[in-house]
Amino acid sequence: MTERKKFIDEYLTGEFTVTELCRRYSVSRKTGHKWIRRFMDHCELGDRSSRPHHSTKAVPAWVEDAIVRARRQKPRWGPRKLRDALLRANPGAELPSVSTFALIFRRNGLIRPKRRRRKTPPFSAPLAHAKEPNQVWPRPVSPACPSSPLGGGSSEFGTSESSRANRSKMADTSECT
């Protein structure tokens, strides 16, 4: 027998007061009276869920239907724009938040999931090998001037001698200044 059932059985004998039983079973008097009330109401003595029976902030079905209809009329509008449009059309209406609009869209299949981007593979080209310090320098990128020796968005690595030569060539060209 469970502890609660023993508590009720001893209470029904009438030999003990509720206070004495609560002290013996190490529960508060409030809990003892709750167990007795449940027994008298022919309910279970076990623990009950504390979860609410209904959500007080749930969106009514008619509001959700109106949101879904509006989204189907304007499928390219997002939750913020659609909510603002509905507020302008119905001033004084109490509409759910933007995030709730997005949840309603997702729940009703009105949002296409974003495509997952593939991870790019790691850079596999060999690096330039330097035989002494400061020998390998990155070339500067100059997308503004495609005719320059460094233009076209090149980001190759070269030796310090070739970098110096390219820099002097670029200084000589006057078309990209």
Q: Write out the DSSP string of 45-89.
A: -S----S-SS-TTPPPHHHHHHHHHHHHHSTT--HHHHHHHHHHH
Distance (Å) of CA 75 to CA 64, 122, 136: 16, 38, 54
Residue 120 has a pLDDT of: 82
Distance of CA 74 to the CA centre of its chain: 25
Q: Which residue has the higher pLDDT, 138 or 81?
A: 81
Give backbone dihedrals phi and psi of 171, rounded to 5 degrees, phi first. Answer: -70, -30
Summarize pLDDT for 21-31 with one digit per residue, the tens. Answer: 999 999 999 99
- Separation CA 57–CA 54 (nearest Å): 9
- Better-scored residue on pLDDT, 176 or 37: 37
The pLDDT of residue 51 is: 86
Say if CB 157 and CB 139 are below 8 A apart: yes
User: For residue 29, what pLDDT is reported?
Assistant: 94
Indicate the pTM of the whole model: 0.44
Helix (H) or strand (E) holding 39: helix 29-40
pLDDT tier for residue 75 given thresholds of 50, 70 and 90: very high
User: pLDDT digits over 22-64, tens only?
Assistant: 999 999 999 999 999 988 888 877 888 888 888 878 899 999 9
Which of the four pLDDT bands, split at 50, 70 and 90, describes residue 76?
A: very high
The average pLDDT across 81-97 equals: 93
Instruction: Tell me the C-alpha distance between 95 and 8, whole Å.
Output: 50
